[in-house]
Structure 1
Amino acid sequence: MTWSTSELAELATTTVNTVRHYHRCGLLDEPRRRSNGYKQYGVTHLVRLLQIRRLRDIGVPLAEIETTGSSVGTSAEVLTAIDANLADVIESSLRTRAQIALLLEHGSITEVPAGLEHTALGMTPAERSIALVYSQIYDPKTMDDVRDIIESDDDAATIAFEALPADADADTRTRLADEFADTIAKAMVEYPWMNEPNARLMGSPELAGEAIAETIREFYNTAQLDVLLRATVIARQRHR
């Protein structure tokens, strides 16, 4: 019993072009032809084709498939590399599923970076947006610190700063800047990188700095920006 190219492809659940490609790669021997020129494939061709498909299905590149006599295989090194890659893919998929579960649990809050889902509901819109931008320009270790800072920023000065209206008078701004400076100075002690934040950036310091500045200007009003600037200057003086 022999089969044509299309019949062989159908039996192996593949395509005629794939069969021809395996011929060109030297993985599948050319069969004998009938007097009319049509190819005659036999069981040995079908078995070889299925063996190749088996390796391809588990991710073995064609270039790494070896043929010796009637057997088809690949090296242990290739299989080990494929297994390691699959392990990475599985780990990434598990992390993604965990993030999806958190988003579903907390109302699909997508405006915060991974790791802040648990605290997202207690964050202001400004904090969420700034944290999301930070996650793109700071390394993962820094983002762990940012999460800790956000989770512990329930002191009176921080709460007053977040609620500060744009028309706050000068005395209110001055008083709050002095109080908020203590919060910032404390953070500088606990997280020394805040004194040299550019050292933790993952990209261009200039571009990252522009992104941070624009984001802060976008989400804080004029009074808050004034207080933040003054408080930062005072905090640096106190931290010396």
Structure 2
Amino acid sequence: MGWSTREVAQLAGTTLRAVRHYHDVGLLDEPERMANGYKSYGTEHLIRLLEIRRLTRLGLPLSTIAAMRRDDADGLEETLAAVEADLAARIAQLRQAQQEIAKLRRHPVETDLPFEVSVAAKEAELSTADRALYAVITQVAGEQGAPHWSALLRGSAHMPGGDEFDALPEDADEATRRRVADLMAPHVTSLLARRPLPADALPPGVREQSAFARTVIEAMLDLYNPAQLDVVARIWRAAGIA
């Protein structure tokens, strides 16, 4: 006498719904039916259910399990190697997240920026617009550029003309714009000479497509008023950027 669907599910430590789903996706063969029409599961079904549960606990998706063949040793090895690599990557991500959370608990800072950059931004007392710009920069550039952006932030903290730039109204006259740019340009030029953008500060795809520069400029157009943008353009010209 075999087991009912509910009984075999309980023995395998799974649910009635899961057993039915395994049938639907081809993972579990249909059992014979008794004279009364009810399914009768045997030992081979229980063993298959236990195998499915073990493989899912190891991280294999049902579609992969369904495609696996017991007589294909090479295919099984390749599948397990891919799953192992995926698990290793996920574990590394979890460890990184754990480290980030531990840092945030020790040194509470806002979470819109990578931890290292957020600490530097706090020390530099960035304006709302500047902080938003760095949020865009670090998102496009990726985590690998965090040391560079942190160093730039620390180097630009309390820059001459910085407060005037933040307070600059959109209708600031020519003389005011020129004065603010003249205050800031020498410091920016010196800082960029001392802290050039490292080759590994941006992902390869971003460097090749110039997406980084376009994204930063678009963000600046949204974040700064016309007078501030004019000052930035003057500073860039003085620094040889444009």
TM-score normalised by L of structure 2: 0.71
Where does structure 2 lack aligned partners over 5 or more consecutive residues?
none
1:111-148 residue CA offsets vs partner (Å, 9 max, x unmatched): 33453122232231222111011123335555542221
Confirm or deny that 1:231 pairs with 2:235.
yes
The residue that corresponds to 1:92 in the other structure is: 93
Confirm or deny that 1:118 pairs with 2:122.
no
Contact 2:160 2:187 in 1 (8 A): yes
Contact 1:23 1:30 in 2 (8 A): yes
The alpha carbon displacement at 1:151 in A equals 1.6
Contact 1:173 1:223 in 2 (8 A): yes
- When residues 139 and 46 of structure 1 are mapped into structure 2, their CA distance, relative to the original with a 3 A threshold, is closer
CA distance in 1, matches of 2:159, 2:25: 72
Max radius of gyration: which structure?
1
Q: Give SS of 1:135's match.
A: helix
- When residues 107 and 62 of structure 1 are mapped into structure 2, their CA distance, relative to the original with a 3 A threshold, is same
Contact 1:112 1:129 in 2 (8 A): no
Picking from 127, 132, 140, the partner of 1:129 is: 132
- When residues 154 and 67 of structure 1 are mapped into structure 2, their CA distance, relative to the original with a 3 A threshold, is closer
Contact 1:102 1:117 in 2 (8 A): no
The residue that corresponds to 2:19 in the other structure is: 19
Residue pairs, 1:11-90, within 5 angstroms: 11-23=11-23, 28-60=28-60, 61-67=64-70, 75-90=76-91
Q: Give SS of 1:36's match.
A: coil
Q: CA RMSD in A?
A: 3.8
Contact 2:162 2:184 in 1 (8 A): no
Where does structure 1 lack aligned partners over 5 or more consecutive residues?
69-73
- When residues 140 and 207 of structure 1 are mapped into structure 2, their CA distance, relative to the original with a 3 A threshold, is closer
Confirm or deny that 1:180 pairs with 2:184.
yes
Confirm or deny that 1:157 pairs with 2:171.
no
Contact 1:64 1:78 in 2 (8 A): no
CA distance in 1, matches of 2:113, 2:83: 34
1:85-118 residue CA offsets vs partner (Å, 9 max, x unmatched): 0111111122223333444444451333453122
Name which of structure 1's ranges 216-225 and 10-19 shifts more when overlaid on structure 2: 216-225
Amino acid at match of 1:33: R
Amino acid at match of 2:53: R
Residue pairs, 1:194-209, within 5 angstroms: 201=206, 205=210, 209=214
Q: Give SS of 2:113's match.
A: coil
CA distance in 1, matches of 2:195, 2:66: 51
Q: Give SS of 1:59's match.
A: coil
Amino acid at match of 2:239: A
CA distance in 2, matches of 1:193, 1:226: 23
Give me the identity figure in percent.
Answer: 34
Amino acid at match of 1:184: V
- When residues 118 and 108 of structure 1 are mapped into structure 2, their CA distance, relative to the original with a 3 A threshold, is closer
CA distance in 1, matches of 2:211, 2:28: 56
Q: Give SS of 1:109's match.
A: coil
Q: Give SS of 1:93's match.
A: helix
Amino acid at match of 2:86: N
